[in-house]
A = this chain, B = another copy of it.
């Protein structure tokens, strides 16, 4: 699905730009956002084929954000998923453009999806990706380097930087079902907000404990950059306890959704238990 969206048929493009886009998207990754979209769709009875477009769109947005976050002027990370970052492999200029073009591609395929309310889906994705969401969170993160955020500020930053797109992933997947109720939508949003924060707390713990080989990116960077993290504010034990509490909160949030939400519950478990 992702490869097809970046093929020459779907997207005629200069070869080197397309290579950079494919490198950034198809080079692995946990695919958490598409998984969430499909699992949320399943939870509310959507046809899985109707989830293909939103699942691909959120992953393209995520991939673009990683390219730009890794740039020398941003987090300056040379390693991503165990390989050279996009700008190391293709140069900074093409990396900037590959990110830009992936964002456009995400909206193109969602707008063309013909499922449910594609304009509403585009609006939801755009709000999650933009200044009030992911890009805004990254701006707060950048400006926080070297100074102290308290726990409230750190949580607010992560709600925007990673939480907004994770919530959009679940909600867009569920919108592929015409039977989605507002109660289910709200429940999935609450579930996704909890696992989004849990995901970040676990990420911080893994960065503090991990090695580059295991997490596939440069480890220990947060401490080296004097970045505030849940680990630095709470310590490992309290951070892990918070993640566990959020896992339980996520399970509880799923109650109104019903029996088909088993996979979402498993994703919550995996997010907290994962070691990479």
Contacts and interface: CB of A to CB of B under 8 A. Distances in A.
A104 B60 CA distance: 13
Q: Kindly report how many copies of this chain are found in the complex they form together.
A: 2
B18 A131 contact: yes
A139 B97 contact: yes
Interface residues of A, number: 51
A131 B14 contact: yes
Interface string A129-151: 11111011011101100000000
Contact of A131 (B21, B107, B125): B21
Given A96-B71, A126-B104, A14 B120 contact: no
Nearest to A104: B130
A24 to B, nearest CB: 12
Contacts of A130: 11, 13, 100-101, 104-105, 108
A123 B101 contact: no
Interface in A229-273: none
A7 B21 CA distance: 32
A180 B71 CA distance: 44
A117 to B, nearest CB: 8
Given A16-B143, A73-B96, A97-B139, A104 B129 contact: yes
A132 B12 contact: yes
A169 B56 CA distance: 27
Nearest to A124: B111
Interface of A: 11-14, 16-18, 21, 64-65, 68, 71, 73-74, 91-94, 96-97, 99-101, 103-105, 107-108, 110-112, 118-120, 122-123, 125-127, 129-133, 135-136, 138-140, 142-143
A225 B119 CA distance: 42
Contacts of A101: 130-131, 135-136
19 contacts: A12-B132, A13-B131, A13-B139, A14-B139, A17-B136, A18-B131, A71-B93, A73-B91, A73-B92, A74-B93, A74-B96, A97-B139, A103-B104, A104-B127, A104-B131, A104-B133, A105-B126, A111-B122, A112-B123
Contacts of A108: 122-123, 126-127, 130
